[in-house]
Amino acid sequence: MRIVVTGGGSGGHLSPALAVIQKIKELRPETEILYIGGKLSMEGTRQPSIEQKVIPETGIPHVFIHAGKLQRRWRLSTVFLLWGAIPGAAEALFHMVRFKPRVLFSTGGYVSVPVVIAAWLLRIPVIIHEQTATIGLANKIGAMFAHEVMVSFPSSIEKFPAGKVTVSGNPVRREVIAAVHKRVKRAIPKSPLRIYITGGAQGAHVINKVVLSALPELLKKYIITLQCGDNRVYKDYEAFSEKIDTLSISQRKRIRIHKYIGAVDIASVFENADLVIGRAGANTVTEVMALGVPAIFVPIPWVVNREQDRNAKILSSAGSALLINQDDLSKQTLLEGIEEVFSHYRDYYERAQQASSMAKINAADILAKKILTYARS
């Protein structure tokens, strides 16, 4: 039994794919899986994609293809970006013919489009998954070729062709599920308070810059774990390393910085976090929801249809998270937001526990069983 999984460009597409692969191998260990990812990051730069950094470490058989970035508005750069899709389409078709999968599972991202079209041309069933509360352009295209569309949130149903859509929830990595079960429920956190700050798998310079300026004040009260990314332009990791060298020994003991926190370590981070601060990608919001932990979200404002705002409002409307607009983010607003949450922690925590019921932590199981059903047919 052979299955191809595709999707990438960001951790938002990669994490659910990995969660589903984990579950498929758990249910049917003999299943052969090939991961088709992109060679370059979603920004269209020469920086390697997140899947090219992560997938080789998992041991999952994989190939990486060229792919052109999709844009909703046509401009001169669109022509050059789409030019990259031509070799990618040929590569996708070659790998699909060679591997001969029974089904294709796609989590979206620009790299998924040529793979989905290749599967359709070969009459291979396609299942796609949309993580966000809105709809990505790649999945909007992919839905035209898909047998079934699975979505994380009920609000996404109306955006896809009728009769194809099922709400599955957003797959959560088994390490996060382990953290959900291990977390000690406490409405009054123990001192010192622990904060996990993340800009996603690739980091967020806007957040990093503000955290860097607020670091001395933060470390007076809190233990900080920071995933800052490995951006080669801004070099945030290097900036934090230099800043930490100037701190006192006691302050240095209160911070851990990481370019990327892998599956092995993320469970421990989530298990102990009293507050999560980060962007509002679908995976971050889903994981925060499942954990039942308060959060502060700084949505990316330029994402199409402001999808991260919509993701964040799922929990801010529930009263378990604060939303800080990126234009309003500063050292002062960050420190004030943290103080607001911890000053009323019992209320935020109890609402976070209530909101956790909205998370379908069995989403990976639902998707894996659906994929295996097609693979066996």
Q: What whole-number percentage of the chain has pLDDT above 70?
A: 93
Please say if the pLDDT value at position 77 is more than 80: no
Residue 12 is predicted with a pLDDT of: 84
Q: 79 pLDDT exceeds 50?
A: no
Domain 2-172+361-376 sits in which CATH superfamily?
Glycogen Phosphorylase B; (3.40.50.2000)
Between 38 and 202, residue with greater pLDDT = 38
Band (pLDDT 50/70/90 cuts) for residue 41 is low
Strands (E), the chain: 2-6, 32-38, 62-65, 103-106, 126-130, 148-151, 165-167, 193-198, 222-227, 255-258, 275-278, 295-297, 321-323
pLDDT of residue 46: 60
> What digits encode the pLDDT tens for the residues 116-174?
999 999 999 999 999 988 888 889 889 999 999 999 988 889 889 888 999 999 998 88
Q: What is the pLDDT of residues 92-123, one digit of tens each?
A: 999 999 999 999 999 999 899 899 999 999 99
Q: What is the pLDDT of residues 213-264, one digit of tens each?
A: 999 999 999 999 999 999 888 999 999 999 999 999 999 999 999 999 987 8
Q: What architecture is domain 175-358?
A: 3-Layer(aba) Sandwich (3.40)
> Using H for helix, E for strand and C for coil, what is the string for 155-187?
HHHHHCCCCCEEECCCCCCHHHHHHHHHCCCCC
Q: How confident is the model at residue 202 (pLDDT cuts 50, 70, 90)?
A: confident
The per-residue pLDDT for 190 is 83
pTM value surpassing 0.95: no
pLDDT band (50, 70, 90) for residue 10: confident
Nearest to 283 by CA among 137, 109, 41: 109
How far apart are alpha carbons 164 and 140 in whole angstroms? 13
Check pLDDT > 70 for residue 43: no
| CATH 3.40.50.2000, the chain: domain bounds | 2-172+361-376, 175-358
Residues 6+ apart with CB under 8 A from 147: 125, 126, 127, 164, 374
Q: Is 123 left (phi over 0), alpha (psi -120 to 50) or beta?
A: left
Inform me whether the pLDDT recorded for 290 exceeds 70. yes
Q: Please write the tens of the pLDDT for every residue from 340-359.
A: 999 999 999 999 999 998 88
Report pLDDT for 159: 87
